[in-house]
Amino acid sequence: MNLNSVIFIDSLPKIDLHGYDRETARVSINDFIKDNKRSGKSIFVIVHGNGSGILKDTTQKVLKSSKDVIEYQIRYNNTGCTIVRIKIWQKSLFMVILNYQQRRKPLENKGKNILYEKFITKIKESIDIY
């Protein structure tokens, strides 16, 4: 999902920076990125308002320097908020099972082990793991 496909932002996680100073906003944005990454939310909203532009500039600088941010944009119809997309950790139940299987002793039959390895390789290629 990219940011152009987002229509309604009310259902997205959001942080409101109104009343924050520059440094508090910077720390809060970084913490919010970490929280959303941990919870698996890849798209969220930062409300900075229009005002003097200090919070908007701070938001842009923090997002530009963050290695977790894939893209961000300010909507033309609402310049007081920024929509952000970040990398999330893709650790599914399958990967938990895979880690458990790899710790167990290898299968007795070599033919089954080769098929198993091919299957695991295909699955790993199809899942983005950061």
CATH number of 73's domain: 3.30.1370.110
19 φ/ψ sector (left φ>0, alpha ψ -120 to 50, else beta): left
Residue 37 has pLDDT above 90, yes or no: no
Residues 10, 40 within the same domain: yes
Residues 79, 97 within the same domain: no
Domains in the chain, number: 2
Residues 112, 78 within the same domain: no
Residue 106: domain span: 93-126
Q: What's the confidence (pLDDT) of residue 121?
A: 73
**What's this model's pTM, rounded to 2 decimal places?**
0.69
Residue 12 has pLDDT above 80, yes or no: yes
Residues 41, 64 within the same domain: yes
Residues 70, 111 within the same domain: no
Question: What SS3 class is residue 16?
Answer: strand
Sign of the C-alpha dihedral computed for residues 83, 89, 90 and 93 taken in this order: negative
Residue 82 exposed, middle or buried by CB count within 10 Å (0-12, 13-18, 19+) = buried
Residue 125 has pLDDT above 90, yes or no: no
The token pair at 60 is 């842009």
Residues 37, 80 within the same domain: yes
The token pair at 83 is 């929509």
